[in-house]
């Protein structure tokens, strides 16, 4: 069950095409998985369209808005592209296990690098987003744990499959998570099938406890 969603302000800015690219991508992928947010976004988009139509009628705006192109920009898909399950794979694979990714992440499957073992029961595959930010798929096997850390910037996370906790909350498939320098947490999974997340950071993590603090000079190489 999805319990964590973007805020109303984040959804409204997304619907208006005002979100930063990284946030737009994660909100779009979350909406692919969340019927509640899809419904809210559809309503917000209708309201935005009506407001612009009303503005044109009273002479406040002569601008013609191509909403198909706007939505394509928001969801990071070309305007002319029709999603097809046959054109690009929607699955990533780790040790023979396949995971289906949300439609908004589909185009990045082919831009995902090889899996590498980090530490303990953690695995990571880098995703080439270009200038959007540093992204990774991270898989936590059962008892996998990311060392306790805070953030020099922001960390956007979407739970693709499974569930995990971090000392702050418990997260399930589809949950949207935004962390910054105000948050300190230590993600771990106790799920028998493990947990796959997609995460974007705009600055290296800062580890805060134990021997993991020795990783801080090199954290940009791993997370």
Do residues 92 and 109 touch, judged by C-beta distance below 8 A? yes
Q: Average model confidence (pLDDT) for the chain?
A: 84
Residue 222, pLDDT score: 55
Q: Which of 188, 127, 185 is nearest to 151 (CA)?
A: 185
Q: DSSP letter at 188?
A: B
Q: Which CATH class is domain 91-221?
A: mainly beta
Segment 112-132, tens digit of pLDDT: 999 999 888 999 999 999 888
Q: Kindly state the average pLDDT of the residues 183-195.
A: 94
Question: Quick one: how far is CA 180 from the chain centroid?
Answer: 15
Residue 82, pLDDT score: 39
Segment 8-30, tens digit of pLDDT: 999 999 999 999 999 999 999 99
Distance CA 116, CA 88 (A): 23
Segment 203-218, tens digit of pLDDT: 888 888 766 555 656 5
Segment 136-177, tens digit of pLDDT: 999 999 999 998 999 889 999 999 999 999 999 999 999 999
Question: pLDDT band for position 180 (50/70/90)?
Answer: very high
Segment 70-98, tens digit of pLDDT: 555 555 544 333 344 445 678 999 988 99
Residue 70, pLDDT score: 52
Do residues 187 and 177 touch, judged by C-beta distance below 8 A? no
Structure tokens at 1: 């069950």
Distance CA 99, CA 78 (A): 24
Helices of type H across the chain: 8-15, 21-33, 35-57, 67-74
Do residues 140 and 164 touch, judged by C-beta distance below 8 A? yes
């Amino acid at each position: 069950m999805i319990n964590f969603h973007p805020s109303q302000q984040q959804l409204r800015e997304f619907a208006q095409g005002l979100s930063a690219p990284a946030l737009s991508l994660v909100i779009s992928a979350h909406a692919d998985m969340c019927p509640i947010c899809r419904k809210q976004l559809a309503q917000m988009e209708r309201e935005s369209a009506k407001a612009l139509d009303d503005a044109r009628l009273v002479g406040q705006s002569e601008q013609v808005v191509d909403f198909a192109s706007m939505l394509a920009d928001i969801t990071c898909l070309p305007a002319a592209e029709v999603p097809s399950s046959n054109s690009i794979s929607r699955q990533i694979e780790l040790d023979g296990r396949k995971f289906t990714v949300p439609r908004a992440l589909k185009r990045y499957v082919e831009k995902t690098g090889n899996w590498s073992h980090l530490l303990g029961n953690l695995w990571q595959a880098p995703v080439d987003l270009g200038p959007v930010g540093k992204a990774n798929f991270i898989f936590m096997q059962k008892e996998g744990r990311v060392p306790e850390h805070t953030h020099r910037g922001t960390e956007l996370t979407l739970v693709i499959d499974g569930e995990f906790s971090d000392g702050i909350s418990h997260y399930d498939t589809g949950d949207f998570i935004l962390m910054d320098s105000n948050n300190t947490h230590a993600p771990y999974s106790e799920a028998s099938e493990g947990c796959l997340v997609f995460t974007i950071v705009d600055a290296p993590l800062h580890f805060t406890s134990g021997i993991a603090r020795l990783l801080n000079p090199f954290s940009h190489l791993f997370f």
